[in-house]
Chains A and B, each alone.
Chain A
Amino acid sequence: MTDAFDLGPAVDDAANVLLAAPGVGNGADRLCGDLATADGDVPEHVVTVTIAGSPIESAKEWRDRLGPGPSVSSLAIDGMTRSAAAQSAPAIGAATIEYIDSSDTVQELGRRIAAKLDDERETVVCFDSITDLQECLGQEPTFEFLHALGSQVRATGATGYYYIDRTLHDEETMTLYSTLFDAVVETGNGTPE
């Protein structure tokens, strides 16, 4: 766990942050957590969204970092990861794990994420990942989805961190997505800089 990043006012005040890093495997939540807790604050409510990964691993990462206090709510796409995750489910304490059916629309995914936002509590959203969503939907729908999600995150006073694997996108694509965010954090080795 990292605990001493000076991210500057641009990131501190940002509602939506693009988190660009080389492939981190299951490490997106760790990076989001590093950023979300960089100023020493601990969120009261964490929403994790994983398109291709395991929501259980995601919830466990946040539990290990934050302890039992904050609520953790993980949303994933029902698919190949579910059976494997269920077989090796670690003890993660109180966390809500939800799956959205893979035949559902992307609009439904958006509504389900928005339903988990809580404007009464300090909320962090960790989205893993733009790369996987673009793989599913293509670039323009992904771009439009991210703006709609970002507007909901901002409206509820939450902070969203959106991971993108920068090794899988060219510079043009990285620049395109960066226009949606209030701040961009680039990391070279899986550690926010």
Chain B
Amino acid sequence: MSHATCDVTVTSDVVLVCIADDDLRRDVTATLRSEWPVRTAYDESAARASLDESVSVLLLDLADDTFDIDQTLDRQDEDGIAFETAALVDRHARTDERLDGYVHKPVSTDELRATVDRLHRRVQYDRLLGRYYSIATEYAETASARQQDPPELTRLRERLFTLRTRLDDIADGLDDADAFDAALGEYEDDDVGDFSLDDL
């Protein structure tokens, strides 16, 4: 039986809060729940059971050994699930460059909200940019087809315009590091993540 509590099962942009300490988990969840759908897990198996494509941000308490960050991050590769990760850490703890954000203990409400909001924006930007590319590709194919389809071209153009407006709004809320990381993060472990001038 899973120990995960699934408050929202069909909504995306879920924050999965993985904290073993009951009081801390309750406080963090209460802070986040007013703005985002939240799931909670208090051990590793519950976290794994609850981690699916609906999860956008995973918040993990690394202060004890309950949660295995390596196994969690492996899910991104194994299952192709795209989510951002933030860790609760002691103020002077060493940072892990594989994580996308940190919240320091004792947890400040403002820092917690700001971190989750920032990571949500990264996820939204990444997903929306992928969708924009997909529709732009369809538009380019349709526009270049021998047999023209003006109504379809108009429909695609309007979808692109709407998406572009949303995409630009989200991008405007990201700093340069987050914008490039979010746009291209999925290529980090691939060959295309590195320049290879030998190809030129």
Contacts and interface: CB of A to CB of B under 8 A. Distances in A.
Interface residues of A, number: 42
B179 A103 contact: no
Interface string A52-87: 100000000000000000000000010110000000
Main SS class of interface, B: helix
Contacts of B183: 144-145, 147-148
A155 B195 contact: no
Interface stretch (B8-16, B45-53, B80-88, B169-177): B169-177
A93 interface: no
Given A102-B196, A105-B194, A179-B160, A141 B184 contact: yes
B168 A105 contact: no
Interface stretch (B17-25, B31-39, B95-103, B132-140): B132-140
A110 B197 contact: no
B132 A147 contact: yes
Given A106-B184, A111-B176, A145-B183, A52 B195 contact: no
B140 A172 contact: yes
Nearest to B169: A151
B199 interface: yes
Interface string A136-160: 1110110111011101101100000
Contacts of B137: 176
Given A143-B133, A171-B144, A132 B200 contact: yes
A79 B133 CA distance: 30
Given A136-B199, A179-B136, A105 B188 contact: yes
B197 A105 contact: no
B200 A136 contact: yes
A107 interface: yes
Contact of B176 (A104, A144, A152): A152
B40 to A, nearest CB: 32
B68 interface: no
Interface residues of B, number: 37
Contacts of A110: 176, 179-180, 184
Nearest to B180: A110
B193 to A, nearest CB: 5
Nearest to A113: B176
A88 interface: no
A148 B140 contact: no
27 contacts: A80-B197, A102-B194, A104-B195, A105-B188, A107-B184, A110-B179, A110-B180, A111-B176, A111-B177, A136-B200, A137-B195, A147-B129, A147-B183, A151-B168, A151-B172, A151-B174, A152-B179, A154-B172, A172-B140, A172-B143, A173-B140, A175-B143, A176-B136, A179-B136, A179-B139, A179-B160, A179-B164
Interface of B: 129-130, 132-133, 136-137, 139-141, 143-144, 160, 164, 167-168, 171-172, 174, 176-177, 179-185, 187-188, 192-197, 199-200
Interface of A: 51-52, 77, 79-80, 100, 102-107, 109-111, 114-115, 132, 135-138, 140-141, 143-145, 147-149, 151-152, 154-155, 170-173, 175-176, 179-180
Given A106-B193, A107-B180, A148-B179, 5 more contacts: A52-B200, A79-B197, A102-B195, A136-B196, A175-B139
